[in-house]
Structure 1
Amino acid sequence: MTEASRPVRVRFAPSPTGMFHVGGARSALYNWATARQQGGTFVLRIEDTDAARNKPEWTEGIISALAAIGIHGGDRAFEGPYFQSANAPLHRAAAEKLHTAGRAYYCDCTREQLTTRTGSQQLGYDGFCRDRALGFEEGRALRFRTPDEGATVVVDLIRGEPAFPNSAIEDFVIARGDGSPVFLLANVVDDIDQGITEVIRGEEHLSNTPKQQLLWQALGATPPVWAHLPVIVNEKRQKLSKRRDKVALEDYLAEGYLPEALVNYLMLLGWGVKDDVEIRPYAELEQLFKVEDVNAASAFFDVAKLRSFNGEYIRALTVDQFTAACAPWLAAPRAPWQPEAFDPTVFAVLAPLAQSRIALLGEITEQVDFAFLDTPVRDEASWAKAMKDPVGATALLRSVRERLAGAIWEADALKAELEAVGAEHGLKLGRAQAPVRVAVTGRTVGLPLFESMEVLGRERTLTRLDAAVERLA
């Protein structure tokens, strides 16, 4: 089988050491799109050899996060998960093969000795043990013997063909003093064993690529085609960091970002469609995606733009879909009301009003809580803003209460009554609404006031107006 006819096999190889990073999610999506578009295979490999940091729950988190963005074992393109730790015998065998072939040698140099010889802590290894013919002994590292001349050229679909002078690549360690292979070797051995043809990963791995390519060749295998994705940065153009930025995919899902919106946005972090239509279903993005069209420049993770995307996706839902999507936020422990206070029929009336106003599903509770709480929330900032003239607000609320006691309880009629009261007090509707809205809902912003009052009902609305007057007094 020729190289050109080899079936495409890509891999996503995260370490289970924390929450699922949005950068990892983008890499996974680009690999997934490449595999599915070309009828190939997406291999999930869990690189779990760091026993001190790995936790089973992180592995489960990776699998569930991938499933949330549409990458799962139910698809024909999916293969795995495989665990790197299970391949330890192959890793050791590869290290021994390289040593036997003279492509690697044992080294007993310490960092202190190297610093003494070179006069610097910054210089790489000087090749001191290359010709000492040391055998394996506890504490001796195994180093790969890099070529002295020429350059290692990496064929990268995004970055062209960068060349790395071999003289600048030190004889790097491939197995530790206890005989256990390091990441560089284990990664290459796993890729060879699993038939990986394209490696699509983050830019931070580019510096390791010439070393890995040399290992592929030394082990008698044809290196894959490489593609190093641009780094993702925040608004200050700093690389996204879990210590500084919100980077966990799980956190965005928990706030109420729809998986479809996240997938759409992440696909466009570094790549774009030529017709500039950004909001489109994944199936279309998958067909249009080409890794060679990814921009090499850093990609800005614009949370405001992601939020806008999510709002568009929310508004595109049917009311029934929107109601179902909101369900986790309408029940304990997220909902601020008692379970028995929630009325699905009331929410069904409010849902279309809220759907056009929220950008995150998590915002739904603040939009509708007035209808399910015994008393409205006490948002002090809203109260201070709406009731800054206590005497005027008291007079207005008393007049409104008097008019509404006998009003037709429909939104249009309620609006007309408040307009009339406002005119009596020399206020336009917008100014007259503010104290009433805060008295009834607890906040200065929210769903349309008169539809909210209609749903709340006459008795509860009047009770809240009375309570506000009493508080003002």
Structure 2
Amino acid sequence: MTQAIQPNPAVRTRFAPSPTGFLHLGGARTALFSWAFARHFGGSFVLRIEDTDVERSTPEAVDAIFAGMRWLDLMPDETPVFQMARHARHREVIAQMLEAGTAYYCYSTPAEVEAMRELARAEGRKPRYDGTWRPEPGKTLPPVPADREPVVRFRNPLDGDTTWNDLVKGPISIGNAELDDLVIARTGGVPTYNFCVVVDDWDMRITHVIRGDDHVNNTPRQINILRALGATVPEYGHLPMILGPDGDKLSKRHGAVSVMQYDEQGYLPEAMINYLARLGWSHGDDELFSRAQFVEWFDPSHLSRSAAQWDPKKLNWVNAQYIKQSSGEDLAARVSSRIVARGGNPELANLPAVMDLLKERAETLEQLADDAMLFCVAFDASQIPADLAAQHLTDGARAMLRDFAAQAAEGEWTKPALAAVMKSVLAAHGAKMPQLGIPLRVAVTGRPQTPAVDAVLALLGKEVVLARLHAI
């Protein structure tokens, strides 16, 4: 029996992408899990655009992120926040920390800091900033260089451990002695990424942070800054990476492209949500489930600690199941523009009925559009390839086609009625089904293979089919 969900409107999760490229699969999965967690508890899901990398952040990338989230229907509950717009707040907090003594000015140059690290390496110690400018009781600091702008460093605890119970990985503990004093503002007072994240999570009242495990090393630093600010520390969960089918890190050659490319390739957003949900999360043996079921079932304790593997064949299978479950009307609405893009005219066909015929064998909307062109373009006998005509439109085949046309013209134009006419013609000529079925397909469509020929003829319509047969 499923345990009843205890609503908790205080739950707040966030998705915080950097707008330096499209919304990729890993980012989409992170957004999905953060969204589902908030929905599971009746909380809020918010979006923060971390655009502090001014040189690489672009409006086009922001638009691409929004487009991907709209397609997947993962839009936030509140107006998106842009990190750059909050720099005045970040500077305000840095000033407060300098006054409180939890941060300090550091005048060491990058070259000097690198020399400190080289010395530590040579002595077998962890390479780190050595605290030259860190204020300590009884310590005399060097004279302030007149020609240097300082950075601001966080005064990290020297003793003890920073420990958290990761929602995915379980208990993690990092010795504070392993962490040097993090730069929280560059020269000129520009706040750094790790510091901005802390202040934004604090101000946005984020209760749970679900993100990729490449952020694990940032977490103890961020926790220590939050504690120094007297802020509530969120719960953290770090998702393992997604691997390609060959076991290597997912890359463009595996399909690590914009999620919108999957829209272009004919995948349904519902199917993509279902597939992404199963990449590192499970609910028993359930493979297919609705968005509502996923929200109801979602529990971070069921997130896998090991890397997930991208499987294009499995994605195609999932997409095919969603296509089969869709109505002809729904599929027609989704496929119509794809037919137009191919030069077809959806108005030439009863498109919902065509979709119902084709959907059982289709893996993508693109495949449906390709197959639907059979019904959505004008066709005449001059378009039949000469080799097909020579092979299949023999004198004997033409005789059967004439008989078929004559009998079919007199009866109902339905799939059962057309199947009955075909049986009658075969019996009269002592022939087998392929001897009539293939010539029928070639004469009417120019193709030797189609879905069930009686269904195809019924959908093409009496007038069209008879006109094409009489032209042979």
TM-score under structure 2 normalisation? 0.82
Alignment counterpart, residue 237 of structure 1, candidates 237, 247, 263: 247
CA distance in 2, matches of 1:262, 1:451: 31
- Post-superposition shift, 1:13? 1.0
Match of 2:168 in 1: 158
Match of 2:287 in 1: 278
Q: 1:41 to 1:129 in 2, by over 3 A?
A: same
1:223 pairs with 2:226: no
Match of 1:301 in 2: 310
Taking the TM superposition and a 5 Å limit, the aligned residue runs for 1:169-184 are 169-184=179-194
Q: 1:255 to 1:422 in 2, by over 3 A?
A: farther
Contact 1:174/1:181 (<8 A) preserved? yes
Alignment counterpart, residue 357 of structure 2, candidates 353, 358, 379: 353
Contact 1:22/1:248 (<8 A) preserved? yes
Q: 1:377 to 1:147 in 2, by over 3 A?
A: farther
Match of 2:86 in 1: 87
- SS of 2:79's equivalent in the other structure is strand
Identity within the alignment, %: 31
Number of equivalenced pairs: 444
Contact 1:311/1:359 (<8 A) preserved? yes
User: What is the CA RMSD across the aligned residues, in angstroms?
Assistant: 3.5
CA distance in 1, matches of 2:382, 2:361: 22
Structure 1 residue identity aligned to 2:278: L
1:103 pairs with 2:103: yes
Structure 1 residue identity aligned to 2:218: N
Match of 1:373 in 2: 377
1:451 pairs with 2:450: no
Structure 2 residue identity aligned to 1:106: C
1:342 pairs with 2:341: no
Q: 1:60 to 1:137 in 2, by over 3 A?
A: farther
- Post-superposition shift, 1:295? 0.9
- SS of 2:275's equivalent in the other structure is helix
- SS of 2:197's equivalent in the other structure is helix
Question: Cα deviation per residue 1:173-195 (whole Å; 9 max; x = unaligned)?
Answer: 22222321111001111111111
Contact 1:264/1:281 (<8 A) preserved? yes
TM-score under structure 1 normalisation? 0.82
Structure 2 residue identity aligned to 1:126: Y
CA distance in 2, matches of 1:312, 1:8: 34
Structure 2 residue identity aligned to 1:280: F
Taking the TM superposition and a 5 Å limit, the aligned residue runs for 1:405-416 are 405-408=405-408, 411-413=418-420, 415-416=422-423
Match of 1:462 in 2: 469
- SS of 1:44's equivalent in the other structure is strand
Gaps of 5+ in 1: 467-473
Question: Cα deviation per residue 1:410-462 (whole Å; 9 max; x = unaligned)?
Answer: 531564378569965xxx64587557645644556542233223444334543
CA distance in 1, matches of 2:209, 2:47: 12
Structure 2 residue identity aligned to 1:93: E
CA distance in 2, matches of 1:438, 1:318: 29
Gaps of 5+ in 2: 1-6, 135-140
CA distance in 2, matches of 1:299, 1:308: 17
Structure 1 residue identity aligned to 2:234: P
Structure 1 residue identity aligned to 2:106: Y
Q: 1:348 to 1:37 in 2, by over 3 A?
A: closer
CA distance in 2, matches of 1:218, 1:301: 41
- SS of 1:406's equivalent in the other structure is helix
- Post-superposition shift, 1:63? 2.9
Alignment counterpart, residue 320 of structure 1, candidates 314, 329, 341: 329
- Post-superposition shift, 1:296? 0.8
Q: 1:191 to 1:379 in 2, by over 3 A?
A: farther
1:206 pairs with 2:207: no
Contact 1:14/1:45 (<8 A) preserved? yes
CA distance in 1, matches of 2:113, 2:35: 47
Structure 1 residue identity aligned to 2:45: F
Q: 1:241 to 1:93 in 2, by over 3 A?
A: farther
Q: 1:438 to 1:46 in 2, by over 3 A?
A: farther
